[in-house]
Structure 1
Amino acid sequence: MTFGSVAKVIVVMAMAEEGGQLLPTLFAVPADAPGVEIIADVPFTHNYPHGHPSMKFTDVELTDSDILGGLGNGEDLQRLWFTEERLGIAARCIGAMQRLIEESVDWAINREQGGARLIDHQGVSFPLADSAADAAAGRLLGLEVARLTDAGADPKLVHGKASMAKLFCSEAAGRCADRAVQIFGGRGYMRTTAAERFWRELRVDRIWEGTSEIQRLVVARSLERRGVKSMLT
């Protein structure tokens, strides 16, 4: 549960039963309600100040006022949440890629090896070019999804494109971080460098708010349901 160790209210997706039907519904659960407990709060690879504990709910009693958005509307609300979160992750990755490229280019220009600057070696300059292409493409994709969101485009189409942006940008940021560590060499593995920190911190962006595999599934379904032209233009 994200920030479950410090949250006052926990948003939970659960099935509500009504008329013999199971309805996906969001509930606002007070963290101090009887039956709510943290059963594990293990450290993660990244350095976020608050963890993601595993929580257990035992006979927790709620009222109608704890329902968010009405019975059975949980998946629609979750889709809106995922759209925003996935676009936010894409934006974070775009910024991270730019920082990594700035650090790597500065190092490659000023560091000499064998009488030549690192950037004069194709083994360094070509990966920098690949990272620049990744960052530029990711930025354009992220901005396009943000534009569609601001314009009030079809939420389901935007949801598919946000998944595409998260997929591309998170994978591209991972590639950029790996290249940066390689360009810095041994220094890239030191905890004093941005390359090492980003290499470690960015890994989770291919996992949370839906793994890369889930994003591929969403994009593939969007291609089928919304059409190729809608997804690519």
Structure 2
Amino acid sequence: MFELSREHEDFRKVVRDFAEREIRPHVAAWDKAHHFPVDVVQKMGDLGLMGLIAPEEYGGAGGDFTTLCVAIEELGRVDQALGITLEGAVGLGINPILTYGTEEQKQRWLPDLVAGQRLAGFGLTEPGAGSDAGATQTKAELDGDEWVVNGAKQFITNSGSEITSLVTVTARTGTREDGSAEISTIMIPSGTPGFVAEAGYDKLGWHISDTHPLSFTDCRVPAENLLGERGRGFAQFLATLDDGRVAIAALAVGLIQACVDECVRYANERQAMGGPIGRKQGVAFQIADMEVMLQASRALTYQAAAMKDAGAPMKSFKHAASIAKLYATESAVTATRIATQVFGGYGFMEEYPVARYYRDAKILEIGEGTSEVQRMLIARGLGLPVE
């Protein structure tokens, strides 16, 4: 059986203590107000969470991917929205610059991002291009020594907060010989004329997360803001998503753990028909099923994370990442439904956290590749000619 190291478990305690102290007492109020707590996000940076995988020369800890997943799980156990804030800040903000950026780009952007004093987003999804990222319509044309960007993005995390410093976007930068779109990635700093983060969404869940649609109108940035090789943006995006799928699985594990914790507590306290409801098999067996989903999801997630850290062949890692993401996220949706049922009428009331868990869960099956996309990728990995 796969087990985390003692160092990872010690680190888990540090993050759990932070989440219990700095987040749990306020999370219900923040959720109700749709408030993005900048001060707490920066405290996450002070704790070193944003810099977990970044090298020391940029102010990071030089840690492994598994450590990041532990942090995401523990934040997600208390609040999913702040868990995705960390995942987005590192996986979608820092990691593309760290992986594909020039040394000059790294020196310019990474120190503040790694310190958690600033945030960065990654603009991929568009009104007409989600899972079909090749249908990207945002365009970037080279005019002298500047890119001129026009288009729109939607559902972009960490893109419009008061501490957002830039958003990296995918854009069509030309046409290949075969007629397909040439997709590249370009970094656009906040405050650039023509770049607008529109009003935040009124979402079903993740109320605390900063999420905006973005628009670009004749937005000019220096040519050197190209991130990575021109025309390799689609490949860079796919590699970024592979890591992100494991991170989302870790977020789902935290949510299942929260459901188990709340249901065990409630089933021992709630009295009905002469005793605690937890002694009734109808309740106890549902909670037992959640525990099975939790242990299986955790094992799949950290097995995939360990493969990433060990430098496993990309094909094997991609397969494991999709399996972990599919199983853990669908289990999380099921676990929140069960938890709401265990709480009965109280589970339908916003004063109980399981109501928030229920709202927060559904997006896990959609973001970083829908469940349908994961099934397609898993089937392809088995050699099936699925389209």
In the superposition, the TM-score normalised over structure 2's length comes to 0.55
Query: What is the aligned partner in structure 1 of residue 170 from structure 2?
Result: 13
Q: Distance in 2 between matches of 1:12 and 1:52?
A: 15
Q: How many residues align?
A: 225
Name the SS of the counterpart of 1:8 in structure 2: strand
Query: What is the aligned partner in structure 1 of residue 213 from structure 2?
Result: 54
Deviation, 1:84, is 2.0
Point out where structure 1 has 5 or more consecutive residues left out of the alignment.
226-233
Moved runs in structure 1, 4+ residues, more than 4 A? 18-21
User: Residues 37 and 218 from structure 1, CA distance in 2 versus in 1: closer, same or farther, beyond 3 angstroms?
Assistant: same
Deviations 1:149-207 (A, max 9, x none): 11001223312321221111111011111111110111112222221121111221111
Query: What is the aligned partner in structure 2 of residue 90 from structure 1?
Result: 249
2:356 matched to 1:201?
A: no
User: Residues 80 and 143 from structure 1, CA distance in 2 versus in 1: closer, same or farther, beyond 3 angstroms?
Assistant: same
RMSD: 1.9
Q: Which amino acid aligns with 1:10?
A: V
Deviation, 1:64, is 2.9
Query: What is the aligned partner in structure 2 of residue 3 from structure 1?
Result: 158
2:307 matched to 1:148?
A: yes
User: Residues 59 and 104 from structure 1, CA distance in 2 versus in 1: closer, same or farther, beyond 3 angstroms?
Assistant: same
User: Residues 157 and 16 from structure 1, CA distance in 2 versus in 1: closer, same or farther, beyond 3 angstroms?
Assistant: farther
Point out where structure 2 has 5 or more consecutive residues left out of the alignment.
1-155
Q: Distance in 1 between matches of 2:238 and 2:168?
A: 14
Name the SS of the counterpart of 1:224 in structure 2: coil
Q: Assess if the C-alpha contact under 8 Å between 2:176 and 2:182 holds in 1.
A: no
Query: What is the aligned partner in structure 1 of residue 351 from structure 2?
Result: 192
Q: Which amino acid aligns with 2:174?
A: E
Name the SS of the counterpart of 1:53 in structure 2: strand
Deviation, 1:38, is 3.3
Q: Distance in 2 between matches of 1:192 and 1:209?
A: 30
Q: Distance in 2 between matches of 1:34 and 1:106?
A: 53
Deviation, 1:11, is 0.8
Deviation, 1:73, is 1.7
1:28-107 counterparts in 2 under 5 A?
28-107=187-266
Name the SS of the counterpart of 2:158 in structure 1: coil
Name the SS of the counterpart of 1:60 in structure 2: strand
- Whose RCO is larger (CA < 8 A, sep 6+)? 1
User: Residues 160 and 75 from structure 1, CA distance in 2 versus in 1: closer, same or farther, beyond 3 angstroms?
Assistant: farther
User: Residues 103 and 19 from structure 1, CA distance in 2 versus in 1: closer, same or farther, beyond 3 angstroms?
Assistant: closer
Q: Distance in 1 between matches of 2:313 and 2:175?
A: 30
Name the SS of the counterpart of 2:220 in structure 1: coil
Q: Distance in 2 between matches of 1:95 and 1:38?
A: 30
Q: Assess if the C-alpha contact under 8 Å between 1:43 and 1:51 holds in 2.
A: no
Query: What is the aligned partner in structure 1 of residue 277 from structure 2?
Result: 118
Choose 115-124 or 135-144, whichever is displaced more. 115-124
Deviations 1:2-35 (A, max 9, x none): 2221222111111222675632211111232222
Q: Distance in 1 between matches of 2:291 and 2:269?
A: 19
User: Residues 49 and 104 from structure 1, CA distance in 2 versus in 1: closer, same or farther, beyond 3 angstroms?
Assistant: closer
Choose 56-65 or 18-27, whichever is displaced more. 18-27
Query: What is the aligned partner in structure 1 of residue 293 from structure 2?
Result: 134
Name the SS of the counterpart of 1:25 in structure 2: strand
User: Residues 32 and 152 from structure 1, CA distance in 2 versus in 1: closer, same or farther, beyond 3 angstroms?
Assistant: same
In the superposition, the TM-score normalised over structure 1's length comes to 0.88
Q: Assess if the C-alpha contact under 8 Å between 1:141 and 1:165 holds in 2.
A: yes
1:205-224 counterparts in 2 under 5 A?
205-224=364-383
Query: What is the aligned partner in structure 1 of residue 149 from structure 2?
Result: none
User: Residues 197 and 18 from structure 1, CA distance in 2 versus in 1: closer, same or farther, beyond 3 angstroms?
Assistant: closer
Deviation, 1:147, is 1.0
Q: Distance in 1 between matches of 2:248 and 2:286?
A: 23
User: Residues 95 and 27 from structure 1, CA distance in 2 versus in 1: closer, same or farther, beyond 3 angstroms?
Assistant: same
Q: Assess if the C-alpha contact under 8 Å between 1:4 and 1:51 holds in 2.
A: yes
Q: Assess if the C-alpha contact under 8 Å between 1:13 and 1:26 holds in 2.
A: yes
